[in-house]
Amino acid sequence: MSPTYDVIVIGLGGMGSAAAHHLSARGARVLGLERYGPVHRRGSSHGGSRITRQSYFEDPAYVPLLLRAYELYETLERDTGRDIATLCGGLMAGRPDSRTVAGSLLSARTWDLPHEILDAKEIRRRFPTLTPEDDEVALHETRAGFLRPENTVAAHLQLATRAGADLHFEEPLLRWEPYRDGVRVHTAEDTYTAGQLVVCPGAWAPRLLADLGVPFGIERQVMYWFQPDGGTGPFRPDNHPIWIWETADGVQSYGFPALDGPDQGVKVAFFRKGTVCTPDTIERTVHEHEVAAMGSHVARHAPALPGRFLKAATCMYSNTPDEHFVIARHPAHPASVTVACGFSGHGFKFVPVVGEILADLALTGTTAHPIELFDPHRLSTIHAPGVRP
């Protein structure tokens, strides 16, 4: 049997890579297991960019975690020399009573975050690429921007390796079970033991955490890149914010500045509005009617789009019924197992602070961070102990 570790981390995407880094940085003997290669495109932590923002319409309770995440992203950039975060500003747009605008304003006021409310005329003046309806407004946040997901994962893996973590790729989990005072983990390659297990399964949560009793829903999402009419100049990050836009019927879409040169276009997508899938059944092909629907929608907000379609890519959301995360000690195995899952399409901006929380929970059993909102008991339908093979 392989040497005993202090902590085994299952899944080395966004959350798992951050957990491996923070655990190993504290001196823990860490084994990380990933079913695919490093920084892969089969899950959720890819696509070149992810929005980050602090005026959080989902719930003001997230803001303290975001403030810490921003600090940790700065440290991550400094410690690795990688391009991680760009704060180009952001617009949360829609009608004043929309969740996107009203919820963002609530968080901004609750936590005294710098912000402005722009009416439609002012939006058009400051950002000529955008064309709001006359009754639409936007919360403008200068501390919003975008993250590089691939660079973030690579940076956390780099630091975890530097601190002595053993990271095994192309080695999927077969099963795990309680063992003595900890856990035993079986893969196709070997069997490992550890005092603690941290499970960051992403879209594989229904399979790996069935005994958690949380009704996860896995959703296929599509990201699109379009070349604007007239070129990407007006959409560069020094001229253009990220945006999240909610229409009168409640549909949210989002977009980014033009990144990585004039030929890479502008990335846009719907927020939610995906189709049910599993990691095994997800349709990776993006169809013409999907491109047309996205193009028609985004043209309402940015007439230079869709312009010319460049490419598309799929990823997966792992949704909980209330769209809040699950971060906790496993209720059935509270002495030895910690879980982080159900990030519901808005988790990536929290990656470094989730890694810090997971290290706290695995090594001490508690954390000073406010995670009460993420207790799985709020959703669980199963409370009896059990282990999913």
State pLDDT tens for residues 309-329: 999 999 999 999 999 999 999
pTM, 2 dp:
0.95
Residue 25 labelled as part of a binding site: yes
CB 222 within 8 A of CB 290: yes
Q: Give me the pLDDT at residue 108, please.
A: 98
Q: HSE on the CB side for 234, CA within 13 Å?
A: 14
pLDDT digits (tens, 9 = 90+) for 272-299: 889 999 999 999 999 999 999 999 999 9
Residue 29 labelled as part of a binding site: yes
The mean pLDDT value for 117-129 works out to 97
Q: Give me the pLDDT at residue 387, please.
A: 32
pLDDT digits (tens, 9 = 90+) for 68-98: 999 999 999 999 999 999 999 999 999 999 9
Mean pLDDT of the chain: 95
Q: Among candidates 91, 96, 88, 101, which has minimal Cα distance to 131?
A: 91
Q: Give me the pLDDT at residue 298, please.
A: 97
Please give the Cα distance from 125 to 92 (Å, whole number): 16
Please give the Cα distance from 107 to 158 (Å, whole number): 34
Residue 123 labelled as part of a binding site: no
Q: 224: which strand partners?
A: 268, 312
- Model confidence at 384: pLDDT above 70: no
Residue 24 labelled as part of a binding site: yes
Residue 17 labelled as part of a binding site: yes
Residue 28 labelled as part of a binding site: yes
Residue 12 labelled as part of a binding site: yes
- Model confidence at 55: pLDDT above 70: yes
Residue 27 labelled as part of a binding site: yes
Residue 355 labelled as part of a binding site: no
Residue 53 labelled as part of a binding site: no
- Model confidence at 332: pLDDT above 60: yes
Q: Give me the pLDDT at residue 195, please.
A: 97
The mean pLDDT value for 184-206 works out to 97
Q: 79: which strand partners?
A: none
Lookup: tokens for 373 = 């909102």
Please give the Cα distance from 87 to 146 (Å, whole number): 6
Residue 90 labelled as part of a binding site: no
Which percentage of the chain shows pLDDT scores above 90?
A: 94
Name the E strands within the chain.
5-10, 30-33, 50-52, 85-86, 90-94, 116-119, 137-141, 145-147, 166-168, 173-179, 182-187, 191-199, 217-227, 242-246, 252-258, 266-271, 275-276, 308-319, 326-329, 337-341
- Model confidence at 237: pLDDT above 80: yes
Q: Among candidates 111, 100, 96, which has minimal Cα distance to 61?
A: 111
Q: Give me the pLDDT at residue 262, please.
A: 85
